Structure 1
Amino acid sequence: MKSVQQEIDERTNLTGSNKFELLLFTLGESANSDRSELFGINVFKIREIVAMPQITTVAGAPAHMLGVVNLRGQVISVIDLPAIVGCVPKTGLNIMLVTEFARSTQAFAVESVEDIVRLDWGQVLSAESSAAGGMVTSIARLDGNSDQSRLVQVLDVETILRNLMPSEGPDVNPDTIGEKIKLRPGTTLLAADDSVVARALIEQGLDAMGIPYIMTKTGKEAWDQLQSIAAAAEAEGKTIHDKISLVLTDLEMPEMDGFTLTRNIKQDPRFKTIPVIIHSSLTGTANEDHVKNVGADAYVAKFVAEELAATIRRVLSN
């Protein structure tokens, strides 16, 4: 039998092989179906799973906010996830998923937890071009690429929280970011993030910093873009360093995650000296250790424009 530490080590080491673990859960029947579809969230975002405790309703709370719970001395907001995605639980809201990411702790009420599955990011496709775009960032194929594979909707928690609790002030304030950041003449920043909301925030921030950029939706798209730019540069008698000054990447992305993208860049003689900043909602010492192991030049948690700007300045100055 594996020890708890062995299981933790094995799980965190998945990041070195473009794999991850997905927690599967149900939210009830949707308006268009009489069956309970499977939804998923990265295990790294889950702090704990508990039976639904007594919830205290809060006066004036936003729609779909059930209230708060006192969990071991911490008061945590509980969000009605089935209501947000348009499902009706058949057996009630039985389970609470306590999540930690993007500098915040919150809980999501769900109907049931089904399983934890280990997948390759290659089994996950972007949902943005489908009707699932919006609250669903990607679709995971549990049984590989077969036509009969069970499908899981991977929720875009960043978008859900942003819609539920919009920022009271501007997300990006040019006055607090500081002076414009100048890249080498003729170069640009290559960015990758699968969340619609995250990309919009990053673009606002980079625009305020005065940084030209190319935005991609997955690690694979960024990797393909980098190779294409390198080939075009070579045809002009130049190198990739005449075109790209910096890579900014998320960690969780369909097809290829940010760990694999970073490792690919740092192991390729053409690209290895290009600075890479990992910009992620997945926080914690385990993830930050892996950032160092794959050779990233810096890590910054989402999303504070001032911190992102300061990190970019520091990495470029090095």
Structure 2
Amino acid sequence: MSEIMNSVNQRTQLVGQNRLELLLFRLNGRQKFGINVFKVREVLQCPKLTSIPRLNSFVRGVAHIRGQTISVIDMSLATGGKAIVNLDTAFVVIAEYNSSVQGFLVGAVERIINTNWEAIMPPPKGSGRASYLTAVTEFENELIEILDVEKILNEISPISTDVSESVSNMSVENKREKIIFIADDSAVARNQVKKALSTLGLEIEMAKNGLEALNRLKALAEETGDITDKVGILVSDIEMPEMDGYTLTAEIKNDPALKNLHVVLHTSLSGVFNQAMIQKVGADDFIAKFHPDELVTSVQKWFDNI
């Protein structure tokens, strides 16, 4: 296990290069799950948990780790399974999402695998746990399920999508024919962004991954020859199956019909965000998830300048 921890510490310093490194874990059964290594701070054997009244039923308790008090979420309970019983052999994955740190209680931690985004696919329709999956992949003839952590966290502690009154009074004048395009593999995240940006009064179109977004943007561009005649801005997640946000941005900036599109990368990779990678692919802006006022203000200001 010390090798896994050391590997996590080293690899969380890397971002991009169109590859995905997954930390594999199990809950109660044999099924393997994955979490992006770049969101993992630490993996440790389950420490002593302290119960606190009125905690969400999925939160097994809080742990005091390196000067922080961290809620520990039972990932099996949170995805509709049975509670992880033997805490003495369980592990806690400390991860950062949306500028906050959480602990995920898992039954066992196995290894880190290196794959690429092209091998990450949307979850199959009709699978029992599909509502909690954001993607799947295959490794050594085994199906790896990638959980929609943003959905899980939102069910436990919903993120406010409300925009403050001063910001909600903003609107985009004389550009109402423009579309705001959103790309994100998490349905929860897509709807959060849509609700916030709806205050600008513009049409919004959404895609579930980078490849779907790219194909749709190309189709829109074919109508006039320049995507900016139709779309004012793209707000894209970075981690998406089939094509990640880095690759999507690079494809856009290398396409004459798309290159003028303003691209904002909007990601929960706040703790390990690599500014050099954003510059390399040519993204125009970066906003950490999820701050409704900041997102709406940034988009509104861009529309005012075009």
TM-score (norm 2): 0.89
Matching of residues 66-215 of structure 1 within 5 Å = 66-85=60-79, 86-87=81-82, 89=84, 92=87, 94-127=90-123, 129-131=125-127, 132-143=129-140, 149-167=141-159, 170-173=160-163, 175-177=165-167, 178-182=169-173, 184-215=175-206
Q: The residue matched to 2:130 in structure 1 has which SS?
A: coil
Q: Report the residue type matching 1:171 in the other structure.
A: T
How many residues are matched? Answer: 295
Cα deviation 1:14-38 (Å, max 9, x = unaligned): x13x211011000013xxxxxx100
- Could you tell me whether the CA contact under 8 Å between 2:74 and 2:84 is conserved in 1? no
Q: The residue matched to 1:158 in structure 2 has which SS?
A: helix
Give the distance between the partners of 2:250 and 2:75, measured in 1 at CA. 35
Give the distance between the partners of 2:271 and 2:247, measured in 1 at CA. 19
The answer as to 2:261 corresponding to 1:269 is no
The answer as to 2:270 corresponding to 1:283 is yes
Cα deviation 1:237-276 (Å, max 9, x = unaligned): xx32211111110011000000100111112222222110
The answer as to 2:48 corresponding to 1:54 is yes
Give the distance between the partners of 1:8 and 1:268, measured in 2 at CA. 35
Give the distance between the partners of 1:313 and 1:20, measured in 2 at CA. 32
1:284 is displaced (CA, Å) by 3.2
Task: Pick closer, same or farther for the CA change 1:67–1:91 going to 2, 3 Å.
Answer: closer
1:184 is displaced (CA, Å) by 3.2
- Could you tell me whether the CA contact under 8 Å between 2:44 and 2:92 is conserved in 1? yes
Task: Look up the match of 1:39.
Answer: 33
The answer as to 2:235 corresponding to 1:248 is yes
Task: Look up the match of 2:19.
Answer: 19
Task: Look up the match of 1:32.
Answer: none
Q: Report the residue type matching 2:230 in the other structure.
A: K
Q: The residue matched to 1:137 in structure 2 has which SS?
A: strand
- Could you tell me whether the CA contact under 8 Å between 1:176 and 1:306 is conserved in 2? no
The percentage of aligned residue pairs carrying the same residue is: 33
Task: Pick closer, same or farther for the CA change 1:64–1:88 going to 2, 3 Å.
Answer: closer
Q: The residue matched to 2:197 in structure 1 has which SS?
A: helix
Give the distance between the partners of 2:247 and 2:35, measured in 1 at CA. 20
1:128 is displaced (CA, Å) by 6.8
Task: Pick closer, same or farther for the CA change 1:264–1:201 going to 2, 3 Å.
Answer: same
Give the distance between the partners of 2:32 and 2:66, measured in 1 at CA. 30
The answer as to 2:209 corresponding to 1:222 is no
Give the distance between the partners of 1:255 and 1:37, measured in 2 at CA. 22
Task: Look up the match of 1:232.
Answer: 223
Q: Report the residue type matching 1:159 in the other structure.
A: K
Task: Pick closer, same or farther for the CA change 1:179–1:90 going to 2, 3 Å.
Answer: closer
Question: Which sections of structure 1, spanning at least 5 residues, go unmatched?
Answer: 30-35, 144-148
Q: The residue matched to 1:122 in structure 2 has which SS?
A: helix
Q: Report the residue type matching 1:117 in the other structure.
A: I
Question: Which sections of structure 2, spanning at least 5 residues, go unmatched?
Answer: 1-5
Task: Pick closer, same or farther for the CA change 1:91–1:75 going to 2, 3 Å.
Answer: closer
1:88 is displaced (CA, Å) by 5.2
1:204 is displaced (CA, Å) by 0.7
1:200 is displaced (CA, Å) by 1.0
Q: The residue matched to 1:127 in structure 2 has which SS?
A: coil
Give the distance between the partners of 1:283 and 1:153, measured in 2 at CA. 23
Q: The residue matched to 2:282 in structure 1 has which SS?
A: coil
Task: Look up the match of 1:146.
Answer: none
Q: The residue matched to 1:28 in structure 2 has which SS?
A: coil
Task: Look up the match of 2:3.
Answer: none
1:89 is displaced (CA, Å) by 4.4
- Could you tell me whether the CA contact under 8 Å between 1:249 and 1:277 is conserved in 2? yes
TM-score (norm 1): 0.86
